[in-house]
């Protein structure tokens, strides 16, 4: 859902650029706590994987496609602050090198596909973790739920921005229904991909997954004594 130049007016684009700049500044500070010797190389991998996967548009409904946004995935794997930095690099490279997403719309895209999907994806993930059993097998389902909700809320956020500064007047309910409808389907694809990737890494090296740390911390209490 890379927003091109022209969909939103200049004041709205400037406002979203400001929000994006503040969010990235906060992420740069917050990432200091997340980035250790293990996370640093993983962040490069996560950003690269998100970039690659965003090239893979999958069909969702007649003549429509969608691709991974990756905010929830990145937040669960390397933490929300580092995750936002990963998404910001991806979106900037896409805009500047690949003409995917406008230049003046870069702030909008960082807000929608970076800030919203990372924050919503991570909060839903953490909430799900609180409710679900504290097991490693629950990390991937929780991440998938965060992924689904994050895409739908990113679509809804675009609608909110469009209502404020859209180029052509469109009735709010019409736009909201259309955007949320198609992005529920895209969100299901996002959830499947997020589940598979998180489950794969949890299976081989759970200690590398930021979102699995709390579960790993309590695991010694569950150690079974062999009879």
Considering only residues 14 to 53 of the shown chain, the ones binding other proteins according to CB under 8 A are 28, 31-33, 35-49, 51-53
Residues 93-122 that bind other proteins (CB under 8 A): 93-103
- Closer of 18 and 65 to other proteins (Cβ): 65
Cβ proximity of 74 and 89 under 8 Å: no
64 interacts with other proteins by CB under 8 A: yes
**What is the residue-wise DSSP string for 133-191?**
-S-GGGHHHHHHHHHHHHHHHHHHHHHHHHHHHBSS---HHHHHHHHHHHHHHHHHHHH
- Closer of 4 and 127 to other proteins (Cβ): 4
Nearest distance from C-beta of residue 170 to other proteins, angstroms: 5
Residues 145-184 that bind other proteins (CB under 8 A): 155, 158, 166-168, 170, 174-175, 178-179, 182-183
7 interacts with other proteins by CB under 8 A: yes
Report the C-alpha gap between 128 and 38 in whole angstroms: 25
Report the C-alpha gap between 102 and 3 in whole angstroms: 6
Radius of gyration of the chain measured on its C-alpha atoms: 18
Displacement of CA 71 from its chain's centroid (Å):
1
- Closer of 15 and 208 to other proteins (Cβ): 208
Report the C-alpha gap between 13 and 17 in whole angstroms: 6
Nearest distance from C-beta of residue 130 to other proteins, angstroms: 27
Report the C-alpha gap between 125 and 106 in whole angstroms: 26
Nearest distance from C-beta of residue 131 to other proteins, angstroms: 28
Nearest distance from C-beta of residue 179 to other proteins, angstroms: 5
Q: Select from 183, 184, 215 the least CA-distant residue to 202.
A: 215
Residues 184-213 that bind other proteins (CB under 8 A): 185-186, 201, 204-205, 208
Number of chain positions touching other proteins (CB under 8 A): 74
138 interacts with other proteins by CB under 8 A: no
Q: What are the tokens at 87?
A: 């998404």
Which of 13, 20, 66, 84 contacts other proteins by CB under 8 A? 66
């Amino acid at each position: 859902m890379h927003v091109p130049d022209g969909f939103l007016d200049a004041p709205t684009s400037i406002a979203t650029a400001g929000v994006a700049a503040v969010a990235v500044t906060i992420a740069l500070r917050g990432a200091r706590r997340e980035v250790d010797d293990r996370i640093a190389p993983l962040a490069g991998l996560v950003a690269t994987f998100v970039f690659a996967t965003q090239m893979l548009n999958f069909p969702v409904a007649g003549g429509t496609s969608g691709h991974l946004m990756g905010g929830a995935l990145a937040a669960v794997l390397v933490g929300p602050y580092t995750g936002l930095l990963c998404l910001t690099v991806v979106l900037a490279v896409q805009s500047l090198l690949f003409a995917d997403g406008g230049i003046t719309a870069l702030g909008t895209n960082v807000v929608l596909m970076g800030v919203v999907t990372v924050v919503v994806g991570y909060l839903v993930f953490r909430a799900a973790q609180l409710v679900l059993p504290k097991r490693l097998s629950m990390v991937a389902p929780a991440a998938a739920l965060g992924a689904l909700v994050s895409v739908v809320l990113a679509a809804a956020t675009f609608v909110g921005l469009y209502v404020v500064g859209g180029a052509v007047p469109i009735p709010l309910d019409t736009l909201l229904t259309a955007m949320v409808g198609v992005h529920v389907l895209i969100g299901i694809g996002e959830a499947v991909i997020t589940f598979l990737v998180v489950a794969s890494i949890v299976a081989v090296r759970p200690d590398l997954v930021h979102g699995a740390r709390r579960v790993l911390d309590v695991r010694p209490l569950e150690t079974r004594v062999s009879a």
